[in-house]
Amino acid sequence: MKDLINRGKEVFMNTYSQFPLVIEKGDGVYVYDSKGNKYLDFVAGIAVNSLGYNNEKLVKALKNQLNKLTHCSNLYWNEPAIEAAELLKKYSTLDKVFFCNSGAEAVEGSLKLARKYAKKYLGNNKTEIITMKNSFHGRTFGAVTATGQTKYQKGLGPLLPGIKYCEFNNIKSLEDTIDDKTCAVLVEPIQGEGGIKPADVEYLKKVRKLCDKNNLILIFDEVQCGIGRTGEIFAYQHYNVKPDIVALAKGLGGGVPIGAILANEKAASGFCPGDHASTFGGNPLVCSAAKVVIEEISDPQYLENIKKQGKYLTKKLNELKSKYKMILDVRGHGLMQGMEMNMPVKEIILECMDKGLLLVGSGERIIRFVPPLIIQKKEIDSAIKILEDVILRVKYLND
């Protein structure tokens, strides 16, 4: 494993602070390193491997499509893309779909669509987009400019013009930021990289009303919290608030790279042929995977199990909180949970990895829990046992 890591350091750019682990294969909710060690995975590719590893239906669909057609240009139609788009339309009750390859691309395309719509129907001065402080929207220039965290923007200036920021969960801050140049508002129903912070129900409802009042496009970034992660197919369904545009990615392909923009007829009319494109967007291979994922997670029993396991995970994390003062908060929806500590969490994550549990942070002091959506009670119990053992050791060392 050390040899593989050293080889990797020789050829890859220095963009990741990687753990000293080489993942070789996965099965269900477990992954195995190149030495054969087994790990309970509560990272899931950071909310990507929604159906777990080696899912029979997903593997079969990918193999079948490989035998037919891996890629064709968007100059032509392909059936898997049409079928996946039909399912997204059905379950979102939005009207049009654009496929791309990642969350950043989905956000980038959403920003373009909002501006195109505004300039087409509202005038050339309608160019500004409001996003939230502490948000995260991706690494491309538009998406990283929209991101409300300066640490991701360091050294990249000048950033793109026309982006303004306001306080998340603060409707007055949004009201004060809207002006006659505003064309859209971009918000995560649950801030992911910002510390697993859900929007308040009343806040999102008021955001929708403000957008309607001012004729603004409302964009939801559901790259991390969408596609069943919260116990609903789309996170906005928890709030009974319908956006004009939704950006999706991560769990949509169950492990293969795909993103999507969903829009209602009004917003979608901003695009005309030639306005936006993606060479690999709507690729028949990845769309065959997305179709399986959507079919699986849209099953009411599947969603009910996500809600059930999410409630159980929340309960077990809150039990830890009641026992250890170093745990300040537990928050989230479904199988997207965050545990805030009064200390940096990297040491805890590393020790859990040594004991066979993979976790990921969300900021310096939050542990994020985003396991495969197939997780069950016994595996949650195993994860909590390892986590508590590590917390006890850290507490002992710090007392």
Residues annotated as catalytic (active site), given as ranges: 136, 221, 250
Which residue matches tokens 């538009």? 142
Site of tokens 């505004």: 118
Residue among 105, 99, 60, 57 nearest 78 (CA): 99
The DSSP code sequence of 224-240 is TTTTTTTSSSSGGGGTT
Tokens of 70: 């891996």
CA–CA dist 366, 353 (Å, integer): 16
For strands 366-369 and 360-361, give the pairing: antiparallel
- Residue 100: its H or E element: strand 96-100
Of 39, 29, 27, nearest in space to 356 by CA: 39
């016994």: which residue's tokens? 378
Q: How far apart are CA 359 and CA 387, in angstroms?
A: 10
Mapped onto helix, strand or coil, the DSSP state of residue 47 is helix
Cα 174–179–184 angle (5° rounding)? 65
Q: Rounded to whole angstroms, how far apart are CA atoms 398 and 347? A: 12
CA distance 321 to 338: 12
Angle between helices 377-398 and 346-354 (to 10 degrees): 120
C-alpha–C-alpha distance, residues 219 and 276, integer Å: 17
Amino acid at 203: Y
Spatial contact of 109 and 100, defined as CB atoms under 8 Å apart? yes
Cβ atoms 331, 338 nearer than 8 A: yes
Can you tell me whether residue 24 is helix, strand or coil? strand
Across-strand partners of 129? 163, 184
